[in-house]
């Protein structure tokens, strides 16, 4: 925010926390006036009457960290995002920039030029680097008794959306095996380096908060007079665990390198996304389709080169009023045929509201599937099959792809479990249906009818109609699968009868001998 509107006066960002305005972040001038993070806004105004404030935007902070993480990718591939900073694993990457100190100096120079205040720490372990980055400056300040020289200037800086972003610390981690220059960091530099193997010595005078402990644990430790890491390491371990739980020792071990703590890097950005920024806003359907077609052609070339096909595509149009509209297409089959995919987008584009015009379009293949190249002549079913996949896609985008189903055989002798309903887009048709027993055309949940004994009743009433039985065929006994518990089959074995009625209907009745009762379960052709 300060980048967009430089202020040379006490300035702070505020946020609402438990119904009061609190200071979220503040600049150096404000800190000199005695303000602190977390105090109430009213109190801050008393301490510093000239304080200027603005509302904080934590969302913009997170976005800004993502941007920084992408930027930091130039130093090493392992960049992770933490709550209030970045963490880089520069093992094996420092020599590319001429060593650790030049790397950090380069980083500091670039960040300063961008107007971003920061502090960096470099150590053998992630925990130690975190500690030295956030608390190392205080240490140096105490040691040299020159408070404002060693302390890295902290300024509130802006994310792209005008919110607040405070790059707290950049912790760097390096393997101990790496060759290092053991030069002490210059006092004015916004970074500190712990030489390999000296984490214990460097961390000892730091406060316990430097171990990334929760605030509650820190307060309890301080109440007991354990203020620094050195105090903590001198205590017997079993009693520490008993009193404070496992986390204190876990964090201590991680900081000292006794336990590993990897950096989980950000996932790589989607390579199957393209965008086009337009010099003039467009609004006509024809123009948008033309833009989409251009993006699709490029995307499909890229898909073909990698042997992949798109399963779900998202088309985003950004309008001039900064709103964006999305059209999503889920495909019934992996595809990379640009004209055909363009046709499937037609309906979505028709319904899109262009507002005052669209000035940027973006196309991303969100879901991918392997789709190897196929020789055209060896694949005979291509023609009609394609038409079917297209209509499944079209219908699926209207009623949901999972609502278009096909039936597949299932391994069970129970009539209602002998087939399964599978989404047509995610299954292959099964051939070779042949059953030794005649089955009804339509089955439904059993409907009770009145009847006695193990033989079908002569007359019965079903769905408010009376039927006279002319002919019965059966019984076919079907036993429940004892290895599964089907709630419908708790009544035990069933004797199925085919019943031909004088009224014409041919029904499937069953009798449950273990809990006597008659039911209608289906209807034959």
Contact positions vs other proteins (CB under 8 A)? 384, 387-388, 390-392, 394-395, 398-399, 403-407, 409, 415-416, 418-419, 421, 424, 429-431, 433-435, 438-445, 470-471, 473, 498, 500-506, 522, 524-525
Rounded CA separation 116/147 (Å): 21
CB nearer to other proteins: pick between 128 and 344? 344
Tokens 């393997």 belong to 175
Which residue's structure tokens are 């060759």? 179
Measured from the CB of residue 426, what is the shortest distance to other proteins in angstroms? 13
Distance in Å, CB of 342 to other proteins, minimum: 16
Helix (H) or strand (E) holding 59: helix 58-72
Is residue 166 a contact partner of residue 58, using CB atoms and an 8 Å limit? no
- Report in angstroms how near the CB of residue 350 gets to other proteins at its nearest: 13
**Closer to other proteins by Cβ: residue 391 or 479:** 391
Would you say 413 and 430 are in contact if contact means Cβ atoms under 8 Å apart?
Answer: no
Q: Smaller CB distance to other proteins: residue 228 or 418?
A: 418
Longest Cα–Cα distance of the chain, Å, equals 108
* Rounded distance between C-alpha atoms, residue 180 and residue 94, angstroms: 9
Region for residue 366 given its phi and psi (left: phi exceeds 0; alpha: psi -120 to 50; beta: otherwise):
alpha
Closest of 475, 470, 481, 438 to residue 453, by C-alpha: 475
The residue among 195 and 415 lying less far from other proteins, judged by its C-beta, is 415
For other proteins, the closer of residues 276 and 408 by Cβ is 408
> What is the closest distance, in whole angstroms, from the C-beta atom of residue 402 to other proteins in the complex?
9
Distance set, CA 427 to CA 366, 401, 408, 409, 421 (Å)? 20, 12, 9, 12, 10
Q: Which is nearer to other proteins, 412 or 512 (CB)?
A: 412
> Three-state SS for 313?
strand
Minimum distance from CB of 389 to other proteins (Å)?
9
DSSP 178: S
For 410-427, the three-class secondary structure string (H helix, E strand, C coil) is CCCCCHHHCEEEEEHHHC
Q: Which is nearer to other proteins, 77 or 348 (CB)?
A: 348
Minimum CB separation of residue 97 from other proteins in Å reads 59
Q: Per DSSP, what are the bridge partners of residue 13?
A: 25, 54
Burial class (CB in 10 A: 0-12, 13-18, 19+), 488: exposed
CA dihedral 196, 200, 204, 206 (to 10 degrees): 50
With b meaning 16 or more CB within 10 Å and e meaning fewer, what string describes 250-264? bbbbbbbbeeebebe
- Smallest gap from Cβ 422 to other proteins, in A, equals 10
Nearer to other proteins among residue 171 and residue 332 (C-beta): 332
- Supply 344's token pair: 């499937």
DSSP string, 422-458: EEGGGSPPP-----SS---SEEEEEEEE---SSS--S
**CA distances in angstroms from 156 to 16, 28, 164, listed in the order given:** 18, 9, 7
Nearest residue to 396 via CA among 433, 441, 346, 344: 344
Closest contact distance (angstroms) between CB of 434 and other proteins is 6
Q: In the bound complex, what is the minimum distance in angstroms from residue 392's beta carbon to other proteins?
A: 8
Q: Which is nearer to other proteins, 179 or 525 (CB)?
A: 525
Q: How far is the CB of 463 from other proteins (least distance, A)?
A: 10
Closer residue to other proteins (CB): 235 or 443:
443
Query: In terms of Cα–Cα distance, which of 189, 113, 121 is closest to 157?
Result: 113
Least distance between other proteins and beta carbon 404 (Å): 5
Tell me the CA distances in angstroms from 446 to 164, 189, 522, one per residue in order: 64, 80, 8
Closer Cβ to other proteins, 484 or 502, answer by number:
502
236 vs 487, beta carbon nearer other proteins: 487
458: CB partners within 8 A, 6+ apart: 468, 469
- Give the shortest CB-75-to-other proteins separation in angstroms: 53
Q: Which residue number, 180 or 505, has a Cβ lying nearer to other proteins?
A: 505
User: In angstroms, rounded to a whole number, what is the distance separating the alpha carbons of residues 458 and 470?
Assistant: 8
* Least distance from other proteins to the Cβ atom of residue 343, Å: 11
């Amino acid at each position: 925010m300060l980048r967009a509107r430089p202020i040379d006066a006490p300035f702070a960002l505020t946020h609402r926390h438990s119904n009061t305005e609190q200071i979220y972040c503040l600049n150096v001038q404000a800190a000199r006036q005695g303000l602190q993070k977390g105090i109430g806004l009213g109190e801050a105004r008393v301490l510093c009457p000239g304080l200027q404030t603005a509302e904080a935007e934590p969302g913009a902070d997170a976005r800004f960290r993502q941007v920084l993480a992408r930027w930091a990718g130039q130093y090493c591939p392992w960049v992770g995002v933490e709550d209030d900073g970045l963490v880089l694993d520069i093992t094996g990457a420092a020599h590319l920039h001429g060593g650790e100190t030049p790397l950090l100096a380069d980083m500091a120079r670039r960040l300063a030029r961008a107007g971003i205040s920061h502090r960096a720490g470099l150590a053998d372990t992630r925990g130690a680097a975190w500690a030295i980055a956030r608390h190392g400056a205080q240490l140096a300040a105490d040691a040299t008794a020159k408070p404002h020289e060693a302390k890295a200037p902290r300024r509130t800086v802006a994310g792209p959306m005008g919110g607040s972003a405070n790059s707290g610390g950049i912790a760097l981690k390096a393997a101990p095996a790496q060759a290092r220059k053991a030069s002490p960091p210059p006092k004015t530099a916004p970074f500190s380096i712990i030489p390999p193997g000296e984490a214990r010595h460097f961390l000892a005078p730091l406060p316990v908060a430097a171990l990334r402990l929760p605030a509650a644990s820190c307060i309890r430790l301080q109440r007991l007079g354990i203020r620094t890491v050195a105090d903590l390491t001198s205590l017997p371990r079993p009693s520490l665990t008993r009193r404070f739980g496992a986390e204190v020792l876990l964090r201590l071990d991680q900081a000292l390198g006794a336990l590993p703590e990897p950096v989980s890097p950000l996932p790589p950005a989607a390579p199957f996304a393209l965008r086009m920024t337009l010099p003039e806003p467009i609004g006509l359907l024809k123009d948008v389709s033309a833009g989409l077609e251009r993006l699709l052609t490029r995307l499909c070339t890229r898909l073909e080169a990698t042997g992949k096909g798109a399963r779900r595509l998202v088309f985003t149009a950004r309008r001039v009023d900064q709103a964006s509209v999305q059209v999503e297409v889920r495909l019934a089959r992996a595809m990379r045929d640009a004209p055909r995919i363009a046709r499937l987008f037609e309906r979505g584009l028709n319904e899109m509201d262009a507002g005052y015009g669209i000035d940027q379009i973006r196309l991303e293949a969100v879901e991918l599937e392997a789709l190897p190249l196929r020789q055209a002549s060896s694949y005979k079913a291509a023609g009609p099959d394609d038409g079917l996949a297209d209509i499944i896609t079209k219908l699926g985008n209207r009623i949901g792809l999972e609502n278009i189903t096909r039936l597949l055989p299932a391994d069970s002798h129970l009539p209602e479990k002998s087939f399964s309903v599978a989404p047509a887009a995610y299954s292959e048709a099964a051939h070779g249906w042949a059953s030794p027993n005649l089955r009804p055309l339509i089955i439904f949940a059993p409907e009770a009818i009145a009847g006695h004994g193990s033989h079908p009743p002569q007359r019965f009433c079903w769905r408010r109609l009376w039927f006279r039985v002319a002919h019965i065929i059966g019984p076919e006994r079907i036993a429940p699968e004892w290895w599964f518990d089907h709630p419908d089959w708790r009544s035990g074995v069933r004797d199925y009868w085919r019943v031909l009625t004088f009224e014409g209907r041919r029904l499937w009745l069953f009798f449950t001998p273990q809990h006597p009762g008659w039911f209608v379960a289906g209807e034959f052709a």
